[in-house]
């Protein structure tokens, strides 16, 4: 199975965090989506040039069935977003898995709505919709991701930071954001800071 991680993205921005938590897990569990795409807002006046660059995953909320079992093992990951000449955005996420450094790369495609990206996984037969709900570009961003695979729908919310440290107020903001989108306390985690694999240099 795929994330995020997603930084995203990141995301976690999104796919990477899923991969990190799903090592050895099986696919097939299902849950209902909590929001339609039309109900998910994006950052007003979204500016992609200010959004791309390096982000660190700080908070994660997920309805993925493996999440409760794996969340205690998850660590912060690093996501780098790079615009490509064809208009896509290259998402490269680096994270720790089984005490080794792993990297995952995905291409995010723009939609007609600035701040809304789509990633399709041919390997896993899934489609990811990534929404940049809120960001100040220089400090933090809040992402909401939906994943559809067949008749199954899953949701994820992610808090990303430009640095490995983030103000406590923004962590609380993320928790409220996740709760407002239907995630329970058990579905929300603040990811432990790590230097392994994701040093800032």
- Min mean pLDDT across 60-64, 86-90, 136-140, 176-180 is at 60-64
Tell me the mean pLDDT in the region 64-74.
81
30 lies in some domain? yes
The pairing of strands 78-83 and 89-97 is antiparallel
CATH number for 44: 2.40.128.20
2 lies in some domain? no
3 lies in some domain? no
DSSP 50-96: HH-EEEEEEEEEE--TTHHHHGGG----EEEEEE-TTS-EEEEEEEE
Which of 89, 60, 90 has the alpha carbon at shortest distance from 76? 60
Tell me the mean pLDDT in the region 73-79.
91
19 lies in some domain? yes
What is the pLDDT, as a whole number, of residue 200? 53
1 has a pLDDT exceeding 60: no
199 lies in some domain? no
Segment 23-56, tens digit of pLDDT: 333 333 333 334 444 478 999 999 999 999 999 9
Supply the mean pLDDT for the chain: 81
Q: Could you list the active site residues?
A: 77
44 or 200, higher pLDDT: 44
- Residue 174's domain comprises 15-190
Tokens coding 51: 């959004």
What is the pLDDT, as a whole number, of residue 65? 78
197 lies in some domain? no
pTM of the model: 0.80
160 lies in some domain? yes
Segment 135-182, tens digit of pLDDT: 999 999 999 999 888 777 889 999 999 999 999 999 999 999 999 999
Highest mean pLDDT among 19-23, 97-101, 129-133: 129-133
Which letter, b or e, does each residue of 17-31 get, where b requires 16 or more Cβ atoms within 10 Å of its Cβ?
bbbbbbeeeeeeeee
């Amino acid at each position: 199975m795929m994330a995020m991680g997603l930084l995203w993205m990141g995301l976690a921005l999104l796919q990477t965090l899923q991969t990190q938590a799903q090592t050895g897990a099986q696919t097939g569990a299902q849950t209902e989506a909590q929001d339609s795409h039309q109900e998910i807002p994006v950052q007003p006046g979204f500016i992609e040039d200010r959004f791309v660059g390096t982000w660190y995953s700080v908070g994660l909320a997920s309805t993925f069935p493996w999440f409760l079992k794996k969340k205690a093992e998850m660590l912060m990951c690093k996501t780098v977003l790079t615009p490509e000449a064809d208009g896509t955005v290259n998402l490269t996420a680096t994270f720790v898995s089984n005490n080794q450094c792993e990297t995952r790369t995905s291409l995010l495609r723009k939609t007609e709505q600035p701040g809304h990206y789509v990633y399709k996984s041919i390997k896993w037969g899934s489609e990811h919709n990534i929404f940049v709900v809120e960001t100040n570009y220089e400090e933090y961003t809040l992402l909401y991701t939906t994943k559809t695979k067949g008749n199954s729908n899953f949701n994820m919310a992610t808090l990303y930071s430009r640095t490995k440290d983030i103000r406590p107020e923004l962590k609380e903001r993320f928790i409220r954001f996740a709760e407002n989108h239907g995630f329970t306390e058990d579905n929300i985690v603040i990811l432990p800071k790590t230097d392994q694999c994701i040093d800032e240099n």
